């Protein structure tokens, strides 16, 4: 209980409290003539009508600062009504004072935790003092308590809903950042890594075989063109608001490209089992990206590897991916398993309800396995 009270007391103000806007000025401009009209119509029925008119109209400006200074406005409005009977013998009895119901709402909607607690104390202290002095009956005090509580409850509910909405937006932004990080790592980083590896191989073989430099440039050009196309697709999604599923995305059948291109390093063998073309686009793209990242890691880190095997098997319930190589599981390879690549692969599989694991094989090399449900959306 003490922890709950402490958390309420330390609750900060919600962000984005609007300052005075034209609607606030319009509200005051409409209410002030209504106050004057009520005073004229009920002049003979009011106790100290001049004082009641001046106080009611004078408290109207508290509506202009109710969001930015909610506790101060509550203290001014309810404090003024509390001390008025000391001078006039009775509280202002104008119906227009009903506008003050906006102040308890505002203090719970826009105030900090301590401002809400102090405002609650001020409002109920004023109500209790009026009942004690006989200005209102116990029934009226009870009814006033219910009205105040309802206004504060509505303010707290709107505050909670707005906070939940902000948390949802923050979570959505975080998920979008993670998605962009995965896509950048799995597309651009993949092609850049291929260009770097091919450039290193071209430089190493150029003295003995000058034509190797030309071949390296051709491969680098092809990788750069593919990276640029995928980057443009991502930018189109971000800038134009184009749905991501409409952007060009690779499929499982495109895995043959990993084996078909002229690349340095171990050969890539791709085996597809089952109807891979019938997979939903998100699943097919995820399988492609997982295989692409696994092959890139194998080319980069698998020492003395001669072969990389990529196998995709599709059945009625799931699609299974297995990427293995026959290289050495070096310390550098072990360290790379904790990088962003494997994290992104696990996140990508987890978002579709699947799993992804990577580690050294029992005999030799490195193996990545992933299982995704076929009906994942």
Q: Tens digit of pLDDT for each residue in 145-179?
A: 999 999 999 999 999 998 888 888 777 777 767 77
The number of folded domains in the chain is 2
pLDDT band at 319 (very low <50, low <70, confident <90, very high): very high
Whether residue 152 is contained in a domain is answered as: no
Whether residue 153 is contained in a domain is answered as: no
CATH label of the domain that carries residue 328: 3.30.565.10
- Across 108-112, 169-173, 359-363, the highest mean pLDDT is recorded for 108-112
Whether residue 222 is contained in a domain is answered as: no
| 18-69 residue pLDDT tens | 888 888 899 999 999 998 998 888 888 888 888 889 999 999 999 999 999 9
Closest CA to 101 of 41, 38, 43, 144: 144
* CB-based contacts of 273, cutoff 8 Å, min separation 6: 311, 312, 313, 314
The residues facing 314 across adjacent strands are: 319
pLDDT band at 245 (very low <50, low <70, confident <90, very high): very low
Instruction: Quote the CA–CA distance of 270 and 267 in Å, as a whole number.
Output: 10
pLDDT band at 100 (very low <50, low <70, confident <90, very high): very high
| 190-210 residue pLDDT tens | 667 777 777 777 777 777 777
- In this prediction, residue 102 carries a pLDDT of 93
Among the candidates 77, 101, 136, a domain finishes at 136
The percent of residues above 70 in pLDDT, for the chain, comes to: 85
Print the domain residue range for 27: 2-136
> pTM for the full model?
0.56
CB atoms within 10 A of CB 321: 24
Among the candidates 90, 107, 136, a domain finishes at 136
- Higher pLDDT pick, 98 / 221: 98
Whether residue 172 is contained in a domain is answered as: no
| Pure H helices in the chain | 2-9, 22-41, 49-59, 70-88, 102-110, 113-132, 138-183, 189-205, 210-240, 256-260, 281-301, 331-336, 340-351
Whether residue 243 is contained in a domain is answered as: no
Whether residue 279 is contained in a domain is answered as: yes
Residue with tokens 């227009």: 96
What's the whole-number mean pLDDT along residues 134-154? Answer: 88
Whether residue 45 is contained in a domain is answered as: yes
The yes-or-no verdict on residue 340 having pLDDT over 70 is no
Whether residue 197 is contained in a domain is answered as: no
pLDDT band at 247 (very low <50, low <70, confident <90, very high): very low
Among the candidates 113, 136, 159, a domain finishes at 136
């Amino acid at each position: 209980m003490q922890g709950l009270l402490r958390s309420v007391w330390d609750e900060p103000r919600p962000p984005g409290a609007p300052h005075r806007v034209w609607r606030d000025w319009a509200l005051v401009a409409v209410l002030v003539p209504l106050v004057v009209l009520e005073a004229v119509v009920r002049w003979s029925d009011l106790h100290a009508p001049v004082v009641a008119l001046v106080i009611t109209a004078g408290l109207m400006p508290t509506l202009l600062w109710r969001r930015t200074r909610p506790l101060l406005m509550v203290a001014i409005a309810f404090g003024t009504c509390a001390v008025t009977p000391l001078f006039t013998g009775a509280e202002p009895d104008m119906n227009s004072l009903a506008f003050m119901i906006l102040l308890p709402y505002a203090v719970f909607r826009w105030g900090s935790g301590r401002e809400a607690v102090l405002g609650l104390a001020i409002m109920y202290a004023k109500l209790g003092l009026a009942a004690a002095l006989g200005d209102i009956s116990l029934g009226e005090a009870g009814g006033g308590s219910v009205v105040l509580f309802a206004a504060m409850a509505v303010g707290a509910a709107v505050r909670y809903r707005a906070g939940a909405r902000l948390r949802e937006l923050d979570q959505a932004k975080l998920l979008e950042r993670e998605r962009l990080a995965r896509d950048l790592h799995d597309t651009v980083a993949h092609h850049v890594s291929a260009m770097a590896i091919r450039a290193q191989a071209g430089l190493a073989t150029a003295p003995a075989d000058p034509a190797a430099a030309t071949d390296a440039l051709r491969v680098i050009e092809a990788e750069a063109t593919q990276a640029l196309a995928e980057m443009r697709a991502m930018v189109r999604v971000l800038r134009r608001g184009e749905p991501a599923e409409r952007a060009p995305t690779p499929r499982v059948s495109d895995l043959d490209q990993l084996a078909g291109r002229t690349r340095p390093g171990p050969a890539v063998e791709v085996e597809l089992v089952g109807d891979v073309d019938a997979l939903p686009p998100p699943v097919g793209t995820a399988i492609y990206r997982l295989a692409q990242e696994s092959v890139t890691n194998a080319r980069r880190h698998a020492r003395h590897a001669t072969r990389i095997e990529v196998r995709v098997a599709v059945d009625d319930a799931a699609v299974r991916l297995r990427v293995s190589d026959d290289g050495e599981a070096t310390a550098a390879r072990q360290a790379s398993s904790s990088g962003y690549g494997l994290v992104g692969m696990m996140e990508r599989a987890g978002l579709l309800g699947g799993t992804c694991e990577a580690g050294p094989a029992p005999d030799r090399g490195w193996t990545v396995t992933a299982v995704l449900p076929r009906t994942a959306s």
